[in-house]
Amino acid sequence: MAATKDDSTDSVQFFEGVEKLLEIWFTSSSSINRKQGDLRQIPHESSMFLSKRRLILKTCGTTTPLQCLEPLLELVKEYTGFEEVENVFYSRKNYKKPELQISPHQAFEEEVALLDTFFPAGEAYCLGSVDSDCWYLYTLNKEKSVDEPSEPDQTLEILMTHLDPEVMALFTRDVCSSADEATQKSGIDKLIPNMIIDDFLFEPCGYSMNGVSKNGNYMTIHITPELEFSYVSFESNIPETSYEEIIRRVLNTFKPKKFVVTIFANKESIAASCPRDLEQTDYLKDSGDWLRTDVQYCRFKNYDLTCAFYSRFPS
């Protein structure tokens, strides 16, 4: 998250803010494992959230989360009794400097080849323009068994670049002395009220926070503030019938020049109509500040997804 300054060249050392996001849902043919449970967050500068059947791992830089799949699946089977993967979602935005990544993460095709060895029914997608901004997704997209439990699920993600310099300055040790100060001065603590926040301010700059609520929702934010490659991600599974207000709050907090919005929801969620709504209704058109440059809607067997790309207008 943090970048250091090379005194000999007086240039900022590059850091890749774009995260790899891995989400896996587990199931079992035995009803003994279908226990109720709540969300647990593992505090770290990256993000890992565990609930009764789901694991979410989100990490940036040159980390290699897909290399954990083999031991992870073995540990889950050994210690929880979950025998099968119900669904998997692996996604990321295009990197700024893919050549700096470590195998298998230099190219999406390489990531897909590895994922296919674990999930033969997996399908890969690229939304947006491969020549500029795009968003990659790998998922199983299979019919849910009638024996598998049904529960509401939804995810909002906002990936922002070219951010406001004054806002980004808050996430440096020159301006804020602690993570708590950066959280409050930026207004992050007001984005989704009543979250229990675990935050971290890096040295000399960079920020991450993980938040959980008592009813099992999460929020996570990662910030790379260096102006040459500034990047902020926001993600939450809070259930809403409309995400317009949350999206506006996030944009007003960080003031990006470009961003991507993705909304996932299954039919059990109160957010089930949100992906289609985002595709058909440009929430931000009336403000005059944003130009939607691309939007794509996907209907999977169990989820709907919309991915929309925006730029500040006039640019």
Digit-coded pLDDT (tens) for 37-49: 444 555 555 799 9
Among 208, 230, 233, 236, which one carries the catalytic annotation?
208
14 annotated ligand binder = no
15 annotated ligand binder = yes
Which positions ≥6 away from 83 have C-beta within 8 Å?
A: 27, 28, 29, 30, 77
- In DSSP notation, 122-161 reads -EEEEEE-TTS-EEEEEE---PPPTTSPP---EEEEEEEE
Among 46, 47, 186, 236, which one carries the catalytic annotation?
46
In a domain, residue 4? The reply is no
- Going by C-alpha positions, the residue among 66, 105, 113 that lies closest to residue 89 is 66
200 annotated ligand binder = no
Give me the pLDDT at residue 45, please.
59
Alpha helices in 49-201 (DSSP H): 69-80, 108-118, 165-169, 179-186
- Going by C-alpha positions, the residue among 231, 232, 229 that lies closest to residue 220 is 232
Which positions ≥6 away from 265 have C-beta within 8 Å?
A: 153, 154, 155, 271, 272, 273, 274, 275, 303, 304
60 is catalytic: yes
Distance CA 44, CA 286 (A): 39
Give me the pLDDT at residue 290, please.
87
Give me the pLDDT at residue 8, please.
35
C-beta atoms surrounding 71 within 10 Å: 9
70 annotated ligand binder = no
Among 60, 176, 205, 307, which one carries the catalytic annotation?
60
46 is catalytic: yes
- Say whether the peptide bond before residue 204 is cis (omega within 30 degrees of 0): yes
Give me the pLDDT at residue 131, please.
87
91 is catalytic: no
Residues 261-298: b if buried by 16+ CB within 10 A, e if exposed: bbbbbbeebebbebbebbbeeebbeeeeebebbbbbbb
Residues 113-134: b if buried by 16+ CB within 10 A, e if exposed: ebbeeebeebebbebbeeeebb
In a domain, residue 9? The reply is no
Expressed as residue numbers, the domain containing 21 is: 15-312
In a domain, residue 7? The reply is no
Alpha helices in the chain (DSSP H): 69-80, 108-118, 165-169, 179-186, 244-254, 274-280
The dihedral through the CA atoms of 277, 281, 286, 287 has a sign that is positive
In a domain, residue 1? The reply is no
CATH number at residue 126: 3.60.90.10
How many alpha carbons fall within 13 Å on the CB side of residue 5?
9
In a domain, residue 10? The reply is no
208 is catalytic: yes
Distance CA 312, CA 77 (A): 47
Among 28, 186, 222, 230, which one carries the catalytic annotation?
222
Residues of the chain with confidence (pLDDT) below 70: 1-11, 29-45, 146-149, 286-288, 315
In a domain, residue 157? The reply is yes
Q: Structural domain tally of the chain? A: 1
Q: Report yes or no: 28 and 83 within 8 Å, Cβ to Cβ.
A: yes
- Taking each helix axis as running N to C, give the angle between helix 69-80 and helix 108-118, from 0 to 180 degrees, rounded to the nearest 10: 30
Give me the pLDDT at residue 37, please.
43
In a domain, residue 145? The reply is yes
In a domain, residue 20? The reply is yes
